[in-house]
């Protein structure tokens, strides 16, 4: 799928989450390991310079319909550096929904480097993502210049033309897949690392197969009551935090004294019908003309808020745009399309999960409480996309979340626009052995920052011990960008 095509909906929400308690219960497969383990082949994949082991695990395409056939799951195993030291690997569950384990292999050299000393790291391409039958749409060069209405029509055509069995692509099905992978690889118990949507999947798997889980590390934690795309309040809080930080910073406040007013004026202009732009394409330097809409502007702002270092550029981008200099903002918008998460995401898998498990809970009362501008476009568009899908899983009342007894480490960034600390606190109510760590100067994703890789190793070695995470307070706040030369030294 062309990045612009995918970004028509995803810029407003990636990698926004769905509620951890809504997946339903899985059938009680045995918690004993399969024997012998599945055969692996040596493989080289982007994101890792080392040779890894790739395994194909066959699972039912539709657990409710045995005659529907099977699906091949791609699993990547990074063997422990020290052979024979630990029998409980770390299973990595990526975000989205729609991101694959092969999309985050680069974490081997950052977040998981210390853990890998004694444990295998197992990356799962969840059904419908990556190399596990990715549900996506064909790219077309003309997508680059299409309007949002034209892109939406293209997406609808892709949905109806794919003919996928969307009802089979749910969190409950992915949780059952994880158990099949554990058995196929011959592990008796596993540790889970989940990021973003992966925290929701990790909770669903642990509730379905408690005997299979030794411990959990959840980074950017989805709460059981969290509904996508009703995330406007969290996003607005993150934006307000940037405005407040700029106002307290002498240099930022001097450079952009009217930041909030400039932002509001831009949004008002965009909501009146968009802003026609003619400028050199930041990619090619060739002249381009198009109309920037409120949805794309706000979606890009939301995307920028995920990482504090990126968010500290936002005042400069807003001020430049308010002065008619749109080049820096458009360049940043293109960056997320060309190289960001939405370049990897499976749009149709995202919709299959959200349409079945979240849109039915987007009640008028919930949306009325979810005040904020940044995700409104997504909230308006998603229900229509869901009506286009054929056969999404039938909506069912979400059961009360069951207790999770496994030790858990819950990581939150205080500046996270989608899973701020209060979401982890809600999830922890059902985890009596959970430890929550809040990092003041972090956004969406903590495991790769500062001393976090060491803390992951310490927690996995002794998950029942109290973790001293004081070193995470040493992560500094990034400096603000005040001009075209980049952030301050």
Structural domains of the chain, with CATH:
3-228+399-474 (3.40.50.1820), 232-342+478-487 (no CATH)
Residue 445: predicted pLDDT: 96
* Three-point CA angle 428, 433, 436, nearest 5°: 50
How far apart CA 15 and CA 219 sit, in angstroms, is: 13
pLDDT of residue 329: 94
Q: Which residues contact 151 (CB under 8 A, 6 or more apart)?
A: 4, 5, 8, 143
pLDDT along the chain (489 residues), means of 10: 40 38 40 59 89 96 92 96 85 95 95 96 97 86 71 86 89 96 96 97 97 98 90 95 97 97 97 91 84 91 95 97 95 71 77 91 88 84 84 61 97 97 97 98 97 98 97 96 83
Reduced to 3 DSSP states, what percent helix, strand and coil does the chain have, rounded to the nearest 5?
45, 15, 45
Q: What is the DSSP letter of 138?
A: -
Which pLDDT does position 338 carry in this prediction? 57
Can you give the pLDDT at residue 153?
Answer: 87
pLDDT of residue 271: 92
* Bridge partners, residue 439, by sequence: 413
Residue for token digits 């858990």? 408
DSSP secondary structure of 151-199: HHHHHHHHHHHH---GGG-SHHHHHHHHHHHHHHHT-SSEEEEEETHHH
Contact 13, 378 (CB under 8 A): yes
Alpha carbon distance 402, 299 (integer Å): 34
- Is residue 395 a contact partner of residue 356, using CB atoms and an 8 Å limit? yes
What is the structure's pLDDT at 250? Answer: 96
pTM: 0.90
Which residues does 220 contact at the CB level (< 8 Å), separation at least 6? 17, 95, 195, 196, 199, 411, 412, 413, 416, 418, 419, 444, 445, 446
What the block records as the tokens of 141 is 């060069």
Q: How far is CA 450 from CA 239, 410, 456, 475, in A?
A: 24, 16, 12, 6
Instruction: Kindly give the pairing relationship between strand 213-219 and strand 275-280.
Output: unpaired
3-state secondary structure of 10: helix
Dihedral (CA of 419, 422, 424, 429) sign = negative
Q: What are phi and psi of 477, to 5 degrees?
A: -75, 135
Do 155 and 347 touch, CB atoms closer than 8 A?
yes
For 285, other C-beta atoms within 10 Å of its C-beta total 8
């Amino acid at each position: 799928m062309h990045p612009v095509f995918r970004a028509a909906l995803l810029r407003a929400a990636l990698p926004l989450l769905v509620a951890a308690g809504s997946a339903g219960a899985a059938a009680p497969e045995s918690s004993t390991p399969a024997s012998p383990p599945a055969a692996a082949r040596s493989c080289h994949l982007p994101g890792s310079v080392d040779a890894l082991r790739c395994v194909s695990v066959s699972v039912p395409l539709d657990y409710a319909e045995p005659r529907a056939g099977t699906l091949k799951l791609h699993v990547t195993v990074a063997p422990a550096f020290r052979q024979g030291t630990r029998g409980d690997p770390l299973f990595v569950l990526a975000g989205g929904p729609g991101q694959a384990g092969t999309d985050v292999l680069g974490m081997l050299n950052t977040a998981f480097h210390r853990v890998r000393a004694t444990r295998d790291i197992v990356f799962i391409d969840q059904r419908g993502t990556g190399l596990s039958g990715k549900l996506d749409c064909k790219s077309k060069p003309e997508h680059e210049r299409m309007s949002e209405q034209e892109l939406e029509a293209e997406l609808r055509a892709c949905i109806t033309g794919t003919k996928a069995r969307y009802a089979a692509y749910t969190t409950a099905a992915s949780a059952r897949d994880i158990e099949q992978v554990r058995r196929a690889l011959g592990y008796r118990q596993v540790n889970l690392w989940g990021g973003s949507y992966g925290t929701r999947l990790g909770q669903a798997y642990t509730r379905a197969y408690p005997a299979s889980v030794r411990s959990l590390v959840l980074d950017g934690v989805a709460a059981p009551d969290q509904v996508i795309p009703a995330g406007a309040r969290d996003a607005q809080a993150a934006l307000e935090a940037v405005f407040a930080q700029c106002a307290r910073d002498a240099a930022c406040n001097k450079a952009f004294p009217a930041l909030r007013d400039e932002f509001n004026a831009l949004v008002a202009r965009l909501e009146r019908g968009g802003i026609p732009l003619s400028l050199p394409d930041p990619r090619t330097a060739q002249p381009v003309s198009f109309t920037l809409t409120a949805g794309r502007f706000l979606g890009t702002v939301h995307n920028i808020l995920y990482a504090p270092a990126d968010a500290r550029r936002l005042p400069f981008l807003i001020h430049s745009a308010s002065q008619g200099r749109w080049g820096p903002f458009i360049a940043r918008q293109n960056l997320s399309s060309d190289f960001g998460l939405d370049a990897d995401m499976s749009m149709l898998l995202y919709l299959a999960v959200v349409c079945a498990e979240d849109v039915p809970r987007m009640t008028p009362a919930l949306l009325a409480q979810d005040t904020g501008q940044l995700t409104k476009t997504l909230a308006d568009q998603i229900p229509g996309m869901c009506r286009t899908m054929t056969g999404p899983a039938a909506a069912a009342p979400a059961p009360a979340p069951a207790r999770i007894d496994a030790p858990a480490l819950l990581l939150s960034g205080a500046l996270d626009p989608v899973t701020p600390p209060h979401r982890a606190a809600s999830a922890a109510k059902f985890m009596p052995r959970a430890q929550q760590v809040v990092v003041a100067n972090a956004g969406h994703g903590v495991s790769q920052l500062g001393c976090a890789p060491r803390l992951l190793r310490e927690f996995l070695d002794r998950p029942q011990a109290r973790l001293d995470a004081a070193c995470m307070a040493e992560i500094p706040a990034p400096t603000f960008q005040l001009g075209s030369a980049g952030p301050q030294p």
